[in-house]
Amino acid sequence: MAISKLTGAERADLIPSLPGWSEVEGGDAIRKSFRFDDFTRAFGFMAQVALLAEKADHHPEWSNVYNRVDIVLTTHDADGLSMRDIDLARQIEAL
């Protein structure tokens, strides 16, 4: 079953509820940059996100440079942003 892409109205409603997350140009993804005290804390956070992602079977596109972690969420099966991205962002925020 195809996953529904969020409508413009849904994006406008949901994204502002996620602190620090913003729409990527074109609206097909959301992103947030996280900063930590050091690499150990940054990677510790990544390990937590990895477990959430695997459990949700929905994986981030992300990068890390020392204490910074940049996360992009998008749903390839929906060819854009879906509720799965919003749900994973919420879970990340709850960490």
- Does residue 9 touch its own copies according to CB under 8 A? no
- Does residue 45 touch its own copies according to CB under 8 A? no
Q: Which of 60, 2, 71 is nearest to 33 (CA)?
A: 71
- Does residue 73 touch its own copies according to CB under 8 A? no
Q: Which two tokens stand for residue 90?
A: 């919420």
**What residue ranges in 1-95 does DSSP mark as E strands?**
22-23, 30-35, 61-65, 68-73
Residue 17 or 63 having the CB closest to its own copies: 63
| Binding positions for its own copies, rule: CB under 8 A | 39-40, 43, 46-47, 50, 53-54, 59-66
